[in-house]
């Protein structure tokens, strides 16, 4: 069984035999929620690629400490996958981001599409983004990931087209039920890819204006499978396909 994972910025640059402290929230989760005690093996990461294994040395629920035994630094994927997830009702957008994180997405951008029922409220934007960040961190922790996906700045409507910049090796792919291209064929034909932006629409789908803007910029519209998927499903499925294509598992 894999040891439980916790995050701490103190792991960056840490070495074997060094003691690393958890913040009060992580300490309480480890000691009170997971019932860990002195001598239990754990994993600890900075969320930026460093992953250490160690033993719980002090089970203080406010200031737990871990004695590091081994340290490894994971390399980021050569091809980055970014999920541009439309806001959706019933927290389906957050569910998509969580599942994509568990599967291995590298970053997530919230998107207020034309047909999104849920809208960004300026007075609550920072609170909303903090909720997204917390969900990504929790999902990464559950999946024992040394990398926490980055949460990008929100985009609105046709602004998604600006993410397509082949000169910077960034490509936009819209997952669309009327797409006439195959995801695998499209990505395998792209030269020297740095980032693939997977765009997933809301319940009402991507609007013609948004799709036209992406196509005009040089992006693609693809369909995955013969079934029409929910806003919470399409993105994670596409991430899994790309993991397989590019040996990212």
Look up residue 184 and give its two tokens.
């695998």
Tell me the average pLDDT of the chain: 92
Q: What's the fold here for domain 5-73?
A: Ribosomal Protein L25; Chain P (2.40.240)
Chain length of the chain: 249
Burial of 50 (0-12, 13-18, 19+ CB in 10 A): buried
Q: Name the pairing type of β-strands 220-223 and 181-182.
A: parallel
Looking at the chain, the whole-number percentage of residues with pLDDT higher than 70 is 100
Question: Has residue 181 got a pLDDT over 90?
Answer: no
Residue 249 in this model has a pLDDT that exceeds 90: no
Three-state DSSP class for residue 190: coil
Q: Are strands 5-7 and 50-58 parallel, antiparallel or unpaired?
A: unpaired
Q: How confident is the model at residue 248, as a pLDDT?
A: 87
pLDDT band for position 46 (cuts 50, 70, 90): very high
Helix axes 92-103, 125-142, angle to 10 degrees: 40
- pLDDT on residue 1: 64
Percent of the chain with pLDDT over 90: 71
Radius of gyration of the chain from its Cα atoms, rounded to whole angstroms:
20
For 29-69, the DSSP string reads: IIIIIS---TT-EEEEE-SBSEEEEEEEEE--SSS-EEEEE
Residues 6+ apart with CB under 8 A from 16: 68, 69, 70, 71
Q: How confident is the model at residue 225, as a pLDDT?
A: 79
Q: Which pLDDT score is estimated for 150? A: 96
Nearest Cα to Cα of residue 158 among 203, 120, 199: 199
Note the CATH number of domain 80-245: 3.40.1280.10
- Measured CA to CA, the distance from residue 83 to residue 151 in angstroms comes to 10
Render pLDDT for 97-153 as a digit per residue (tens, 0 to 9): 999 999 999 999 999 999 999 898 888 899 999 999 999 999 999 999 999 999 999
Q: Out of 130-139, 174-183, 185-194, which region has the weakest mean confidence (pLDDT)?
A: 174-183
Judge if 5-73 and 80-245 fold alike in CATH terms: no
Question: What is the residue extent of each domain of the chain?
Answer: 5-73, 80-245
Exposure of 86 by Cβ count < 10 A (0-12 exposed, 13-18 middle, 19+ buried)?
buried
**Average pLDDT score over residue span 199-212:** 93
């Amino acid at each position: 069984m894999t040891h439980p994972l916790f995050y701490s910025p103190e792991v960056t640059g840490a070495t074997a035999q060094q003691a690393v402290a958890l913040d009060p929230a992580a300490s309480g989760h480890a000691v009170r929620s997971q019932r860990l005690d002195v001598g239990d093996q754990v994993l600890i990461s900075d969320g930026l690629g460093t992953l250490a294994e160690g033993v719980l040395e002090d089970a203080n629920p406010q200031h737990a400490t871990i004695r590091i035994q081994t340290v490894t630094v994971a390399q980021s994927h050569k091809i980055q996958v970014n999920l541009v997830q439309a806001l959706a009702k019933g927290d389906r957008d957050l569910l998509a981001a969580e599942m994509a994180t568990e599967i291995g997405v590298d970053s997530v951008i919230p998107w207020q599409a034309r047909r999104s029922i849920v809208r960004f409220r300026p007075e609550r934007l920072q609170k909303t983004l903090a909720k997204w960040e917390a969900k990504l961190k929790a999902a990464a922790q559950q999946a024992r990931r040394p990398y926490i996906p980055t949460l990008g700045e929100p985009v609105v409507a046709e602004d998604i087209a600006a993410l397509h910049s082949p000169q910077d090796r960034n490509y936009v792919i819209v997952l669309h039920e009327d797409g006439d291209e195959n995801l695998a064929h499209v990505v395998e034909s792209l030269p020297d890819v740095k980032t693939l932006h997977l765009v997933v629409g809301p319940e009402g789908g991507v609007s013609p204006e948004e799709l036209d803007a992406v196509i005009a910029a040089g992006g693609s519209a693809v369909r995955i499978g013969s079934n029409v998927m929910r806003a919470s499903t399409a993105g994670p499925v596409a991430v899994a396909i790309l993991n397989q294509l590019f040996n990212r598992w």
